[in-house]
Protein backbone atom coordinates (compact mmCIF):
# COMPACT_ATOMS: atom_id res chain seq x y z
CA UNK A 1 0.00 0.00 0.00
CA UNK A 2 1.34 3.42 -0.96
CA UNK A 3 2.24 5.61 2.02
CA UNK A 4 1.29 9.28 2.08
CA UNK A 5 3.80 12.08 2.66
CA UNK A 6 2.19 12.72 6.03
CA UNK A 7 2.53 9.07 7.08
CA UNK A 8 6.19 8.96 5.99
CA UNK A 9 6.91 12.14 7.95
CA UNK A 10 5.27 10.68 11.06
CA UNK A 11 7.13 7.39 10.61
CA UNK A 12 10.41 9.32 10.45
CA UNK A 13 9.46 10.96 13.75
CA UNK A 14 8.83 7.56 15.37
CA UNK A 15 12.14 6.17 14.06
CA UNK A 16 14.00 8.66 16.27
CA UNK A 17 12.96 6.65 19.31
CA UNK A 18 14.72 3.30 19.61
CA UNK A 19 13.27 1.97 22.85
CA UNK A 20 9.67 1.42 24.06
CA UNK A 21 8.27 4.55 25.65
CA UNK A 22 6.12 5.17 28.70
CA UNK A 23 2.46 5.68 27.82
CA UNK A 24 2.83 9.38 28.68
CA UNK A 25 5.74 9.74 26.21
CA UNK A 26 3.95 7.67 23.55
CA UNK A 27 0.80 9.80 23.65
CA UNK A 28 2.94 12.94 23.46
CA UNK A 29 4.60 11.58 20.30
CA UNK A 30 1.21 10.81 18.72
CA UNK A 31 0.14 14.36 19.49
CA UNK A 32 3.19 15.73 17.67
CA UNK A 33 2.30 13.97 14.40
CA UNK A 34 1.19 15.86 11.32
CA UNK A 35 -2.60 15.75 11.53
CA UNK A 36 -5.09 14.15 9.14
CA UNK A 37 -8.15 16.07 7.94
CA UNK A 38 -10.35 14.47 10.61
CA UNK A 39 -10.14 13.81 14.34
CA UNK A 40 -8.21 10.53 14.40
CA UNK A 41 -8.84 7.82 16.96
CA UNK A 42 -6.14 6.69 19.36
CA UNK A 43 -5.91 2.90 19.32
CA UNK A 44 -4.14 0.30 21.44
CA UNK A 45 -2.78 -2.89 19.89
CA UNK A 46 -1.63 -5.65 22.26
CA UNK A 47 0.00 -8.93 21.25
CA UNK A 48 -0.80 -11.52 23.93
CA UNK A 49 0.91 -14.80 24.77
CA UNK A 50 -2.10 -17.07 24.20
CA UNK A 51 -2.48 -20.69 23.15
CA UNK A 52 -5.54 -20.24 20.95
CA UNK A 53 -6.05 -24.01 20.67
CA UNK A 54 -7.27 -23.88 24.29
CA UNK A 55 -10.75 -22.45 24.79
CA UNK A 56 -9.90 -21.19 28.29
CA UNK A 57 -7.24 -18.92 26.79
CA UNK A 58 -9.68 -17.05 24.55
CA UNK A 59 -10.13 -13.49 25.83
CA UNK A 60 -13.75 -12.41 26.21
CA UNK A 61 -14.27 -9.70 28.79
CA UNK A 62 -15.09 -6.02 29.09
CA UNK A 63 -13.48 -2.82 30.28
CA UNK A 64 -15.15 0.19 31.88
CA UNK A 65 -13.26 3.26 30.77
CA UNK A 66 -13.16 6.24 33.13
CA UNK A 67 -13.60 8.61 30.17
CA UNK A 68 -15.54 8.46 26.88
CA UNK A 69 -13.62 6.97 23.95
CA UNK A 70 -15.36 9.04 21.29
CA UNK A 71 -16.92 6.10 19.49
CA UNK A 72 -20.67 6.18 18.87
CA UNK A 73 -22.28 2.74 18.92
CA UNK A 74 -25.62 1.52 17.64
CA UNK A 75 -26.93 -0.75 20.38
CA UNK A 76 -29.54 -3.45 19.85
CA UNK A 77 -31.43 -5.01 22.75
CA UNK A 78 -33.10 -8.39 22.41
CA UNK A 79 -35.96 -8.43 24.90
CA UNK A 80 -39.70 -8.90 25.17
CA UNK A 81 -42.53 -7.67 27.40
CA UNK A 82 -41.62 -5.31 30.23
CA UNK A 83 -37.91 -5.64 29.43
CA UNK A 84 -38.51 -4.46 25.85
CA UNK A 85 -40.37 -1.48 27.27
CA UNK A 86 -37.44 -0.78 29.64
CA UNK A 87 -35.01 -0.86 26.70
CA UNK A 88 -37.15 1.57 24.69
CA UNK A 89 -37.39 3.95 27.64
CA UNK A 90 -33.60 3.76 28.00
CA UNK A 91 -33.39 4.77 24.32
CA UNK A 92 -31.76 1.68 22.86
CA UNK A 93 -31.17 2.17 19.13
CA UNK A 94 -33.05 -1.06 18.35
CA UNK A 95 -35.32 -3.30 20.42
CA UNK A 96 -35.81 -6.73 18.88
CA UNK A 97 -38.10 -9.59 19.77
CA UNK A 98 -38.68 -13.05 18.37
CA UNK A 99 -40.14 -11.76 15.09
CA UNK A 100 -37.12 -9.54 14.43
CA UNK A 101 -34.75 -12.41 15.20
CA UNK A 102 -36.49 -14.42 12.51
CA UNK A 103 -36.22 -11.53 10.04
CA UNK A 104 -32.50 -11.06 10.78
CA UNK A 105 -31.97 -14.77 10.22
CA UNK A 106 -33.68 -14.61 6.82
CA UNK A 107 -32.03 -11.40 5.59
CA UNK A 108 -28.58 -11.91 7.14
CA UNK A 109 -28.43 -8.14 7.67
CA UNK A 110 -27.05 -6.69 10.90
CA UNK A 111 -27.38 -2.95 11.52
CA UNK A 112 -25.94 -2.60 15.03
CA UNK A 113 -22.52 -2.58 16.69
CA UNK A 114 -23.33 -4.09 20.10
CA UNK A 115 -26.06 -6.48 21.22
CA UNK A 116 -27.56 -6.86 24.68
CA UNK A 117 -30.04 -9.58 25.60
CA UNK A 118 -32.03 -10.74 28.58
CA UNK A 119 -31.29 -14.31 29.72
CA UNK A 120 -34.78 -15.33 28.56
CA UNK A 121 -33.95 -14.34 24.97
CA UNK A 122 -30.76 -16.36 24.67
CA UNK A 123 -32.42 -19.64 23.54
CA UNK A 124 -34.22 -17.69 20.80
CA UNK A 125 -31.00 -15.94 19.77
CA UNK A 126 -29.43 -19.35 19.16
CA UNK A 127 -31.19 -19.28 15.76
CA UNK A 128 -28.86 -16.50 14.56
CA UNK A 129 -25.78 -17.36 16.63
CA UNK A 130 -23.87 -18.38 13.48
CA UNK A 131 -24.57 -14.93 12.06
CA UNK A 132 -23.78 -12.89 15.18
CA UNK A 133 -20.90 -14.99 16.52
CA UNK A 134 -18.34 -14.40 13.72
CA UNK A 135 -19.07 -10.67 13.93
CA UNK A 136 -18.43 -10.63 17.68
CA UNK A 137 -22.02 -9.61 18.33
CA UNK A 138 -23.41 -12.60 20.21
CA UNK A 139 -24.37 -11.54 23.75
CA UNK A 140 -22.28 -13.28 26.39
CA UNK A 141 -22.44 -13.33 30.21
CA UNK A 142 -18.63 -12.94 30.41
CA UNK A 143 -18.81 -9.57 28.70
CA UNK A 144 -21.91 -8.60 30.71
CA UNK A 145 -24.06 -8.32 27.59
CA UNK A 146 -26.57 -10.85 28.91
CA UNK A 147 -28.44 -9.06 31.68
CA UNK A 148 -31.79 -8.13 33.14
CA UNK A 149 -30.48 -4.68 34.06
CA UNK A 150 -30.86 -3.25 30.57
CA UNK A 151 -31.03 0.35 31.69
CA UNK A 152 -27.78 0.02 33.64
CA UNK A 153 -26.05 -1.85 30.81
CA UNK A 154 -27.03 0.79 28.25
CA UNK A 155 -25.81 3.57 30.52
CA UNK A 156 -22.40 1.90 31.00
CA UNK A 157 -21.95 1.33 27.27
CA UNK A 158 -22.65 4.97 26.52
CA UNK A 159 -20.25 6.08 29.25
CA UNK A 160 -17.40 4.13 27.68
CA UNK A 161 -17.71 0.44 28.52
CA UNK A 162 -16.27 -1.77 25.76
CA UNK A 163 -16.06 -5.48 25.05
CA UNK A 164 -12.62 -7.03 24.61
CA UNK A 165 -12.05 -10.06 22.41
CA UNK A 166 -8.83 -11.40 20.93
CA UNK A 167 -8.51 -11.80 17.18
CA UNK A 168 -7.27 -14.90 15.34
CA UNK A 169 -3.66 -13.85 15.95
CA UNK A 170 -4.06 -13.50 19.71
CA UNK A 171 -4.16 -9.70 19.62
CA UNK A 172 -6.45 -7.12 21.20
CA UNK A 173 -7.28 -3.91 19.34
CA UNK A 174 -9.12 -1.20 21.22
CA UNK A 175 -10.02 2.46 20.77
CA UNK A 176 -9.20 4.58 23.84
CA UNK A 177 -9.97 8.12 22.67
CA UNK A 178 -9.57 10.77 20.00
CA UNK A 179 -6.33 12.62 19.35
CA UNK A 180 -8.10 15.92 20.19
CA UNK A 181 -8.98 14.70 23.70
CA UNK A 182 -7.04 15.76 26.80
CA UNK A 183 -3.90 13.61 27.01
CA UNK A 184 -4.57 12.83 30.68
CA UNK A 185 -7.96 11.28 29.82
CA UNK A 186 -6.49 9.14 27.04
CA UNK A 187 -3.78 7.94 29.43
CA UNK A 188 -6.40 7.11 32.10
CA UNK A 189 -8.28 5.01 29.56
CA UNK A 190 -5.08 3.23 28.55
CA UNK A 191 -4.31 2.35 32.17
CA UNK A 192 -7.85 1.05 32.70
CA UNK A 193 -7.47 -1.19 29.64
CA UNK A 194 -4.05 -2.45 30.75
CA UNK A 195 -5.37 -3.30 34.22
CA UNK A 196 -8.13 -5.46 32.70
CA UNK A 197 -5.73 -7.17 30.28
CA UNK A 198 -3.29 -8.06 33.05
CA UNK A 199 -6.08 -9.85 34.94
CA UNK A 200 -6.73 -12.07 31.91
CA UNK A 201 -3.39 -13.90 32.17
CA UNK A 202 -4.12 -17.66 32.12
CA UNK A 203 -3.38 -19.27 35.49
CA UNK A 204 -1.03 -21.90 34.03
CA UNK A 205 0.85 -19.53 31.72
CA UNK A 206 4.54 -19.12 32.50
CA UNK A 207 6.42 -16.06 31.37
CA UNK A 208 5.26 -12.77 29.95
CA UNK A 209 1.57 -12.46 29.06
CA UNK A 210 1.57 -9.14 27.17
CA UNK A 211 4.32 -9.69 24.62
CA UNK A 212 4.09 -6.30 22.96
CA UNK A 213 1.84 -3.26 23.17
CA UNK A 214 1.68 -0.13 21.05
CA UNK A 215 -0.52 2.90 20.43
CA UNK A 216 -1.32 4.55 17.13
CA UNK A 217 -3.64 7.02 15.49
CA UNK A 218 -6.08 5.93 12.80
CA UNK A 219 -3.86 7.00 9.92
CA UNK A 220 -0.47 7.03 11.62
CA UNK A 221 2.35 4.65 12.53
CA UNK A 222 2.43 2.94 15.91
CA UNK A 223 4.58 3.79 18.91
CA UNK A 224 5.67 0.88 21.11
CA UNK A 225 4.87 1.25 24.80
CA UNK A 226 6.92 -0.25 27.62
CA UNK A 227 4.82 -3.10 29.07
CA UNK A 228 7.16 -4.59 31.71
CATH-assigned architecture of domain 19-68+162-225: 2-Layer Sandwich (3.30)
Lowest mean per-residue pLDDT among 38-42, 53-57, 98-102, 199-203: 53-57
Bridging pattern class, strands 114-117 and 75-78: parallel
Specify which residues 164 forms β-bridges with: 61
d(CA 197, CA 176): 14
pTM for the full model?
0.74
Residues of the chain with CATH 3.30.190.20: 19-68+162-225
Give ranges for CATH 3.40.50.790 in the chain. Answer: 75-158
The superfamily in CATH containing domain 75-158 is Ribosomal protein L1/L10, domain II (3.40.50.790)
The phi, psi pair for 19, rounded to 5°, reads: -110, 160
The tens digit of pLDDT for each residue in 99-111 reads 999 999 999 999 9
Amino acid sequence: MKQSKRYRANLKEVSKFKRPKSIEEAIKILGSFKKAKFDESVEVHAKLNLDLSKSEQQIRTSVRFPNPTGKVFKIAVFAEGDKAKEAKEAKADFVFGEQEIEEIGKSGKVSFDIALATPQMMPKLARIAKLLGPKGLMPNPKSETVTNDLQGALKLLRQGKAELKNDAGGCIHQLIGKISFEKEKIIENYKALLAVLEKQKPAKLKGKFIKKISVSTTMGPSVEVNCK
